[in-house]
Amino acid sequence: MIMDAGSVTEGVIESKGHTTHFRASGPQSGTPIVFVHGWPELSLSWRHQLAALGALGFRCIAPDLRGYGESTVYRQHSDYALEHVVSDMLGLAEALGIEKAIWVGHDWGSPVVWSIASHHPDRCHGVASLCVPYRTLDLGLDPVIDLVNRERYPADSYPAGQWEYMRFYEENFEDATKAFDADAYNTIKLLFRKGDPAGFGLPAGTSMTRINGGWFGAGGEAPDVPRDGDVVTEEEVAEYAGHLERNGFFGPDSYYMNHEANAEYGARALNAGVLDMPALFIGAQYDYVCDSITSDLGVPMRAACRDLTESVVYSGHWMAQERPRDVNSALTRWLATNFEHLWLQSTP
The secondary structure of residue 215, as a DSSP letter, is B
CA atoms within 13 Å, Cβ hemisphere of 147: 26
Residue 98, in any domain of the structure: yes
Would you place residue 2 in the very low, low, confident or very high pLDDT band (cuts 50, 70, 90)?
very low
Q: Does residue 3 sit within a domain?
A: no
245 located within any domain: yes
Confidence check: pLDDT of 175 > 60: yes
Q: What is the CATH number of the domain that holds 221?
A: 3.40.50.1820
Find all residues with CB under 8 Å of 55, minimum gap 6, and list them: 5, 6, 25, 26, 348
**What per-residue confidence (pLDDT) applies to 54?**
95
Domain membership of residue 1 (yes or no) is: no
What CA–CA distance (Å, rounded) separates 47 from 123?
Answer: 24
Q: Is the pLDDT assigned to residue 229 strictly greater than 50?
A: yes
Contact 68, 42 (CB under 8 A): yes
Which of 29-38, 168-177, 214-223 is least confident? Answer: 214-223
pLDDT over 70, % of the chain: 97
Domain that holds residue 15: 8-346
Of 75, 68, 66, 56, the residue nearest 17 (C-alpha): 66
Strand (E) or helix (H) holding 17 = none
How many separate helices (H) and strands (E) can be counted in the chain? 15, 8
pLDDT attached to residue 344: 62
Q: Report pLDDT for 218.
A: 77
Does the structure show a pLDDT above 80 at 336?
Answer: yes
Predicted local confidence at residue 41, as pLDDT: 98
Q: Across the chain, what does the average pLDDT equal?
A: 95
Residues 6+ apart with CB under 8 A from 234: 227
Nearest 5°: the CA angle 99, 101, 103 is: 140
Strands 279-284 and 124-130: parallel
What would the pLDDT profile of 89-111 be if each residue is shown by its tens digit? 999 999 999 999 999 999 999 99
pLDDT grade, residue 345 (50/70/90)?
Answer: low
Please report whether residue 268 resides in a domain: yes
Give the pLDDT of residue 347.
61
pLDDT (average), residues 232-261: 98
Structure confidence at residue 34 as a pLDDT band (50, 70, 90): very high
The Cβ of residue 248 has, within 10 Å, a number of other Cβ atoms equal to: 18
Number of domains observed in the structure of the chain: 1
Q: Is residue 309 in some structural domain?
A: yes
Q: What is the pLDDT of residues 272-307, one digit of tens each?
A: 999 999 999 999 999 999 999 999 999 999 999 999
Global confidence as pTM: 0.96
Query: What pLDDT score does 1 carry?
Result: 31
Position 43, amino acid: S
Determine the distance from the C-alpha atom of residue 90 to the mean position of all C-alpha atoms in its chain, rounded to a whole number.
Answer: 17
Q: Rounded distance, CA 59 to CA 50, Å?
A: 9
Q: Which pLDDT value is given to residue 6?
A: 55
Q: Say if residues 42 and 106 touch (Cβ distance below 8 Å).
A: no
Percent of the chain with pLDDT over 90: 94
Q: Residue 208: which pLDDT band, with cuts at 50, 70 and 90?
A: very high
The 10 Å Cβ neighbour count of residue 218 is: 10
- The answer to whether position 2 is within a domain reads no
User: Is 57 a member of any domain?
Assistant: yes
pLDDT of res. 259:
98
